[in-house]
Amino acid sequence: MVLKLYAVSISTCTRRTATIFHELQVPFELVEVDWKNNAHKTPEFLEKQPFGQVPYLDDEGFIVYESRAICRYVAAKYPESGLIPTDPKANALFEQAVSVELTRFEPTGGKIGLALYTQKTSGVVADKAIIDPLMATLDKTLEGYEVILGKHRYLAGDTLTLADLFHLPYLSYVGLQGSDIMTKRPNVARWYSELIGRPSWLAYVDGVKSTLEY
């Protein structure tokens, strides 16, 4: 049976999962959650995702939520993809990189990306007093990324992994107000432009849709 993703097509976390499914060429059905009418806060939904957020995945009755966990679950079924390296040393470097994404990029890039994306799509103006300090912190973080990406093509080595892809979608939105934060350092710029140009990302740029074949 095809994977069922209970989600919202325009949501950023939904895109993270769909992008990875596309990388793996795994068919999935998007079951659109009516979040305008708070369908994600109902007892039925909370039974599956106790925090009342999208997305969650249903794989023949096996339920998993948290977008990164969903991606890791599906990628683990396809070890040959290399998106989660299995060699112990390669895996350690991968875990290092996913930790960097979650603890260093997400707290700043995630907030900036979400605020600017929301501004673009709904007109709710991002608060400069909040964005500017986050930008300064992210800029400092990207100095470290420049060092890493000066040594190898991707964050965990010369092979693309989930650690890189997890940065999407917020990565693509942090420069929305004309900031050069992603383009002023050569290695970060190269990595950034490759990621935001990937077919897996571009496929859902206008929203995620069910993809039953590739």
Ligand X SMILES: N[C@@H](CCC(=O)N[C@@H](CS)C(=O)NCC(=O)O)C(=O)O
Which residues are near ligand X by CB under 6 A?
A: 11-13, 40, 52-54, 66-68
Supply the Cα-derived Rg of the chain in whole angstroms: 17
> What number of CA atoms fall less than 13 Å from residue 132's CA on the CB side?
3
In the complex, the smallest distance separating the C-beta of residue 51 from ligand X, rounded to whole angstroms, is 7
In the complex, the smallest distance separating the C-beta of residue 127 from ligand X, rounded to whole angstroms, is 19
In the complex, the smallest distance separating the C-beta of residue 31 from ligand X, rounded to whole angstroms, is 14
In the complex, the smallest distance separating the C-beta of residue 106 from ligand X, rounded to whole angstroms, is 9
Q: How many residues does the chain have?
A: 214
Q: Does residue 177 contact residue 183 with C-beta atoms inside 8 Å?
A: no
Q: Which of 106, 3, 32, 21 is nearest to 71 (CA)?
A: 21
> Measured from the CB atom, is 45 or 157 closer to ligand X?
45
Q: Does residue 1 contact residue 43 with C-beta atoms inside 8 Å?
A: no
Q: Which residues, at least 6 apart from 159, have a Cβ–Cβ distance to it below 8 Å?
A: 82, 85, 90, 153
> Measured from the CB atom, is 65 or 78 closer to ligand X?
65
In the complex, the smallest distance separating the C-beta of residue 70 from ligand X, rounded to whole angstroms, is 7
Both ends of the chain: CA-CA distance in Å?
16
